[in-house]
Structures are given as C-alpha cells and as structure tokens.
Amino acid sequence: MAAVSLVKAPIGQGLRPAGHNPRKRGAVVRSSLQGAAVGSRAEWLTNCAVLSSKVAALVSHSTTNGHVAAAAAAPNGATLDLVPVNGANGGARNLPAPLRIADLSPAPMHGSELRVAYQGVPGAYSEKAAGKAYQGCDAIPCDQFDVAFQAVENWVADRAVLPVENSLGGSIHRNYDLLLRHRLHIVGEVQLPVHHCLLALPGVRKEDITRIISHPQALAQCEHTITRMGLNVVREAFDDTARAAEYIATNGLRDTAAVASSRAAELYGMEVLADGIQDDCGNVTRFVMLAREPIVPRMDRPFKTSIVFAHDKEGTSMLFKVLSAFAFRDINLTKIESRPHRHIRLADDASSGTAAKTFEYVFYADFQGSLADPRVQNALAEVQEFTSFLRVLGSYPMDMTPMTAGSSSTITSSDPSPAPSPGR
Ligand SMILES: O=C(O)C(=O)C[C@]1(C(=O)O)C=C[C@@H](O)C=C1
C-alpha cells in the first residue's frame, strides 16, 4: 500500500451534519471533567443514516427516468447537487459518480476492519505497534506523524498509533507538540519491545559498509553497540527504519546498512548482518492510540490519564503546586515533560476555531488514575486553579503486558470500536 502523503479531500467531508463540530468536543477540564462526546458520535451516525436514506431514495427515484430530478437538502441545510446517472442516454461519462451509502459511512461497523494510521512504511515498528493495539486492523502507512493525525481527523483512518517515548532514546517530542496542535484523544497505550537488526543487501559483509542509515531514535538506541562493533561508518537519519531498508534495496546500495526490524529484512530482501543490536535488551517504545472521540473512563481496571498544562504568569511556583495536587492524593505521576511552545497555536474549545496563546513552556504529565475517580477529578480541579491552560489529552487503560523481549501479547482496551478480540 502506498504511503498516505496528503489528506486533503476525504470522502464526505463536506457533508457534516448539523451540530457536528469536531473542534467543539473534547476533554478540556474547564467545560467538563467527563468526556461527553459519546452522544455526538451517535448523533453523527444517525444523521449519516438519515442523509444516506435521502440519497438512496433520490437515486432510486432517478433510476425510473434515468436522471436525478432534483437537488437533495442535507440535514444541515447544505445542498447536495446530485448529477445525472450514467446511462443509455450517454453524455454524463465525465461527471462524478453519485454518492453511495458506503461513502457516507464514517467508520467501519460491526466487526469490519479498523483503519489505523501509523508513521512509516510496512516493516516499521509503528506498524507492529498498530497491529498490537488493534489486532487484525487495516494499518495505513503515513509519511509523517502529522499526516497520521490528519488521516484520523479527516476520517481517512479511524485511529492513529504513534510513538511518544522510548526507554533508551527518551521522548519523541514531535508527537508531544502535535498532540497539542491537534484535537485527537488518547484512547489507549501500547508498549512494544524493540529488537533492532543491522540489515544489508545479500552478500554484503560488515567490512564493506561505510554508512548506516535509520530513524534517529533507532540510531540512538544502537549507538554504543554500533561503536563497539568497530565499524568505520557515518550514521545518517532517515524517515523510518523500514524506509531505510527499502531505500538500500531499491537503489542497490552495497556500502550502506540499515538499522531496522527482521520483518523489514524479509519485506525488502535484505540480510541480517547482526541481530539484537539495541544497547539494552529491555528496549521498549511506548505508543499512544489516538481517536476522534475520548473513551468513557472506568474504574474497574488500571487507567492512566495524560494532561497538558501551562501558566502565563511568572513566579507563582505553578509547577510545585500542580505536583502537590497529585502528591497529596497519592496519585502516582508516571511522566512529566516540558516543551517550549512560543507561538504554538493551541486548539481551544472556548472558540470554534483556534486561539493563539503564548506561554513559555507547556508541561505534559501522565499519572496513574482514571478520570472517573473522584480523587483524580479533585486533583484536576485544583490544577485548574493553579494554571491558565489545562487540557486532558485522554484517560485510558494502561498497557499492563509484561515487557519481555519479543513479547507481543494483546493489551486490554476500552476503546469502543477496536477490531474484535477477547476482552475488549
Ligand atoms: O522507524 C520506525 O520503524 C518507527 O516505527 C519509528 C520509531 C520511533 O519513532 O521511535 C518507533 C519505534 C522505535 O523506537 C524506533 C523508531
């Protein structure tokens, strides 16, 4: 499958039903502590069904006289300009085909495959993470992280699975920045043990290699091992690990090796020169699962909640106060990250568009606890008092799978529409 490089004209984008404004929803604590978007998804589906039946009625009427006689009014008042049907009368061959019910369906229903966007090409670790998060999904490769966000926002994909941190390389800052710029919700997490190989074309020996290419995170995760191998090489960054392998194969490069997965070796006809070259055998990358809607937080299993906050006044010990709101309630923080964000535009629920706000730093924090837990709600209410900006990025089940090398067991998720698998 070709990588999605631009997501500009998704099917049905202009047909949003009345009241459907994705930017209005969300989990900003100021408006609501509980994600209240479940009803709006149902509303969207209902409106689609109404719209579909109107179109279906018109199309069936049109087949009696060979033409669609009139324009249909969509529920939001927009006019659907239905075109003459291609037929024996001819003359309409270059005109667009009429909408079908399938075009109006925003997401696969009733067990059909979930479309999951990831960054990279087949053989990338992110593809494997997508398969671990949503077994049997239709994984959609995207050439950039931003495109994966857009693919979900524009209904080209139902979910995105993107890396946020690695146990050796640290945070993937780009995705933290994008979480703030976009309006998607974290609905789950998946931790993937990452086992790197050094790949080269068949017959190439280690001594022939002058260059190693890979994703910067993958190069960082193998930095010491590559040095210890005594190879006289330059290291170059590439978009993703699998694309580095594909590039070598496509261009027949016999002086270049890639750090990538054994699956990439199989897919692109490469040989494994060295196996397990990550600097730590417990090398794990954490991915987040993103959706247009939040999931309903629960209390019957371990949950994690991710927030982002900022303060626009100096000298008020904001960070200390925020941390104390969690500490005094014995809520365990699992991660905190600060990012500079001058001139970053924040998607803001308070207005229908985006509002430009400037803070010196924003802070991302993950903590153990569900948004359904009153302790968490109280902590967030307090955090809200100390901050100028607070947004809940998601409250979702923790990935509890033991992190043994090569482990790939399924995680437990509350995500409402994952591919069918036990316990979901
Ligand atoms: O290049 C890939 O294969 C990816 O999936 C990207 C990525 C990353 O961004 O960290 C994912 C997991 C590994 O940590 C290395 C690279």
Coil, helix or strand for 272?
strand
Q: Return the structure tokens found at 377.
A: 């709600």
With 80 as the cut, is the pLDDT of residue 88 above it? no
Residue 352's region, left for phi above 0, alpha for psi from -120 to 50, else beta, is: alpha
Cβ pair 290, 393 in contact under 8 A: no
How far apart are the CA of 231 and the centre of ligand 1, in A?
A: 23
For residue 313, what pLDDT is reported?
A: 73
Q: In DSSP terms, which residues pair with 261 in a beta bridge?
A: none
Catalytic residue among 285, 303, 359, 389, which?
285
Give, in words, the CATH class of 111-194+284-419: alpha beta
- What's the CA angle centered on 394, arms 150 and 407, to 5 degrees? 85
Question: Is the Cβ atom of 124 under 6 angstroms away from ligand 1?
Answer: yes
With 80 as the cut, is the pLDDT of residue 348 above it? no
How far apart are the CA of 152 and the centre of ligand 1, in A?
A: 20
Question: Is the Cβ atom of 126 under 6 angstroms away from ligand 1?
Answer: yes
Average pLDDT across the chain, whole number: 75
With 90 as the cut, is the pLDDT of residue 304 above it? yes
Catalytic residue among 149, 287, 309, 386, which?
287
For residue 108, what pLDDT is reported?
A: 46
Cβ pair 375, 289 in contact under 8 A: no
What DSSP assignment string belongs to 108-159?
--TTPPPEEEEES-TTSHHHHHHHHHSTT-EEEEESSHHHHHHHHHTTS-SE
Q: How confident is the model at residue 116 (pLDDT cuts 50, 70, 90)?
A: very high
ipTM: 0.95
Question: Is the Cβ atom of 163 under 6 angstroms away from ligand 1?
Answer: yes
Question: Is the Cβ atom of 123 under 6 angstroms away from ligand 1?
Answer: no
How far apart are the CA of 22 and the centre of ligand 1, in A?
A: 29
Question: Is the Cβ atom of 150 under 6 angstroms away from ligand 1?
Answer: no
- What sign does the dihedral 147-152-154-155 (CA atoms) show? positive
| Architecture of the 197-275 domain | 3-Layer(aba) Sandwich (3.40)
C-alpha distance across the termini of the chain, in Å = 28
Highest mean pLDDT among 10-19, 43-52, 407-416: 407-416
Q: Return the structure tokens found at 310.
A: 């900022």
Instruction: Give residue for tokens 């199309």.
Output: 59
Min mean pLDDT across 32-41, 262-271, 328-337 is at: 32-41
CA 12 – CA 62 distance, rounded (Å): 21
- The count of other CB atoms within 10 Å of the CB of residue 81 is 9
CA 222 – CA 199 distance, rounded (Å): 13
Average pLDDT for 205-216: 96
How far apart are the CA of 282 and the centre of ligand 1, in A?
A: 15
Express each pLDDT in 141-187 by its tens digit: 999 999 999 999 999 999 999 999 999 989 999 999 999 999 999 99
Give the CA diameter of the chain: 78
pTM beyond 0.80, yes or no: no
Of 89, 87, 20, whose CA–CA distance to 50 is shortest?
20
Q: Return the structure tokens found at 10.
A: 């998704």
With 70 as the cut, is the pLDDT of residue 105 above it? no
Question: Is the Cβ atom of 241 under 6 angstroms away from ligand 1?
Answer: yes
CA 268 – CA 98 distance, rounded (Å): 40
Q: How confident is the model at residue 345 (pLDDT cuts 50, 70, 90)?
A: low
Q: How confident is the model at residue 402 (pLDDT cuts 50, 70, 90)?
A: confident
> Is 287 one of the annotated active-site residues of the chain?
yes
How far apart are the CA of 8 and the centre of ligand 1, in A?
A: 26
Of the two residues 360 and 90, the one the predictor is more confident about is 360
CB within 8 Å of 309: residues ≥ 6 apart: 322, 362, 363, 365, 383, 387, 389, 390, 391
Cβ pair 384, 174 in contact under 8 A: no
For residue 46, what pLDDT is reported?
A: 38
> Is 359 one of the annotated active-site residues of the chain?
no
Q: H/E/C letters for each residue in 145-175?
A: HHHHHHHHHCCCCCEEEEEEEECCCEECHHH
For residue 57, what pLDDT is reported?
A: 38
CA 369 – CA 294 distance, rounded (Å): 16
Q: How confident is the model at residue 98 (pLDDT cuts 50, 70, 90)?
A: low
Average pLDDT for 108-116: 66
Q: What are phi and psi of 331, to 5 degrees?
A: -95, 125
With 90 as the cut, is the pLDDT of residue 68 above it? no
- What's the CA angle centered on 228, arms 224 and 230, to 5 degrees? 130
| CATH 3.40.190.10 placement within the chain | 111-194+284-419, 197-275
Q: In DSSP terms, which residues pair with 365 in a beta bridge?
A: 307, 336
User: Which atom of ligand 1 sits closest to the CA of residue 243?
Assistant: 1
Question: Is the Cβ atom of 35 under 6 angstroms away from ligand 1?
Answer: no
